[in-house]
Amino acid sequence: MKSQIHSIKVAASKALTKLVMRALASARSEFEARASRTVGLEPPDIGKEAESIGKRFMENLNGYFDEIGVPASTHTEAETEKFEDLNQIDHDHLEAMVAMEEMIKQRGTSDIAGMRNFTARLESLLPGIRVDEANNPIDPDQIGDCFYEAIKPLELDAQHLLIIYREFDLSVLGELETVVAKSNAMLASMGVMPDLETAVQISAKPAEMSVIDPQEPLSQQIGEQPKAENELERPNYAG
């Protein structure tokens, strides 16, 4: 069971980190476009920081997988610390955070295709543990927290944070259904509740908008070094 959870942890973390790097590349393009239209505007050097952001995001997401069985009280303490931090945030940054929370909420309240089957498969590997939106590692809320903590050290101003959050919503949360479908297929191939529906379910969108090929195995996709249209360096993370 542990080996199966580890395998899906590695695969999902790499796939989502790949999407995070795509979001950062898009944000950098937006920063540069705005800077070209405004004299004296200095955009943040996201290209320089991308590798560190991606690494922190992956480590954070791996941590959520490792803590699936941690008592709820521990998570509550972490949430309390997070809310205490809000008292030290200025109005503009608070608005940016609220905007991101709203994006995550909208994704979370929608019926993400395949998510129920994914949680059922995880539960089958974790006897006695209920997996839901509070501890599912690839729930939008957890993914959002991982990203928030990954970019927090940069101390970006509110307007730049808002741009990054929007790109995160489009490039990462917008592709979550595909990652979930691939994760389900991978678990089924390892014999985890193979009779559950595993068909890839992709929301209707132009083919060019999908950054993951629905016909390509998840394990093969996440094994490749991520690419970005803006020539961002995309690290090849291990494990």
| Distance (Å, whole) CA 237 – CA 239 | 7
pLDDT digit string, tens, across residues 107-131 = 876 679 999 999 999 999 998 999 9
- Per-residue pLDDT, 91: 66
Which of the two residues, 54 and 210, has the higher pLDDT score? 54
pLDDT digit string, tens, across residues 93-106 = 788 888 888 888 88
Mean pLDDT in residue range 178-197? 93
Share the mean pLDDT of the chain.
79
Do residues 75 and 168 lie in contact, with contact meaning Cβ atoms separated by under 8 Å? no
- Per-residue pLDDT, 28: 94
**Hey, where are the domains in the chain?**
2-221
- Per-residue pLDDT, 69: 76
pLDDT digit string, tens, across residues 13-52 = 999 999 999 999 999 999 989 888 877 777 788 989 999 9
Q: Given phi > 0 = left and psi -120 to 50 = alpha, else beta, which region is 88?
A: alpha
DSSP code string of 28-72: HHHHHHHHHHSTT-----HHHHHHHHHHHHHHHHHHHHHTTTS-H
pTM: 0.77
Check whether 192 has a pLDDT greater than 70: yes
Report the b/e string of 96-108 with b at 16+ CB within 10 A.
bbebbeebbeebb
> Tokens standing for 55?
């690494």
Nearest to 186 by CA among 116, 122, 108, 110: 122
In Å, how far are 68, 70, 79, 142 from 75, measured between CA atoms? 10, 8, 6, 11
